[in-house]
Structure 1
Amino acid sequence: MAEHLVVMGVSGSGKTTVGRLLAARLDVAFADADDFHPARNVAKMRAGHPLTDADREPWLHAVAAWTAEYDHEGRPTVVACSALKYAYREVLRTAPGRVRFVHLAPAPAEIAVRVRERTGHFMPPELLASQLADLQPLRPDEDGVTVESPEGLEETVDMVVEALEETG
């Protein structure tokens, strides 16, 4: 069984960029959970409507299935996924192997700036408030770390690697 990392956080927290860099550093497979959304979810978000738990359920199962495919081959993974609620993380933990979470938690004001300045993403800035409201930080019983993520991407990846090493 392999170890799988889920880089989580609200839109604009840096999970895709940090996840890609982390996967490259660890030389493991990477996926962006946004790529697993069905078209109806993307259309809903583009229209400015937050997803419901029912919208997210098949999406989360698809992400867990991707992780399971790699685990079957004994290959570790990194996936960038919002995983905002404990219940969502429970679905992701159904994948075999060790599933660990890396919660990127920059200051909300920094996230708002990033989301406003980003181009070409289906998630409009207006939905950030609903994501921040839904966010349930990692619980003590969850296998994971929280990193405040300073501005520098390499520094953030360094902090993530150190925090993961410290927690075994």
Structure 2
Amino acid sequence: MTRNIWRLAFVAFNLTLIVLTMTRSQPASPLSVTCQGNLSYSDRHDDSEFIFEGLVAMHFEPNGTGYFSMNGDIRHLPQHWQVSRQTFFTWAQRRDRLYDIVITGIQHFSHDTVPEGILEKNIAGLTLGQKRAFTITKTPDGALVLGPATSPLFICAD
């Protein structure tokens, strides 16, 4: 009788290990994230100041594509422009929470008055074909932290 209990416990333990291993080794679910919010960004270098204030929305599709939209105002003193564009990208998971994003297209809307090269000069990684590392981290309370590998850009919560 005791031998049967030990055998049953041994089998149950091994089945539990197999199930846990199988659920842990399955590929991560496809990334499907939409996050938007107001962003105020400023950078001062080379004796000039660059300021963006507006709405930024990011969307990741499970098929490895996505886009981010920028709508707002840019000041590159003493000039001031309106920005309204959508930047398309592909993404691939490099490992864990680290992703690579490659810019595949930029669509300027009619009221986008930013001269060519201003955003590209002041925000690295916004040119066609350029690859950037990006992290997506889930917090214990379910929020998502998105941004370049060096600093968070968004904290998204339901």
Normalised TM-score (structure 1): 0.27
User: Which structure has the highest strand share of the two?
Assistant: 2
Higher RCO (CA-CA < 8 Å; seq separation 6+):
1
- Quick check: which has more Rg, 1 or 2? 2
User: Which structure has the highest helix share of the two?
Assistant: 1
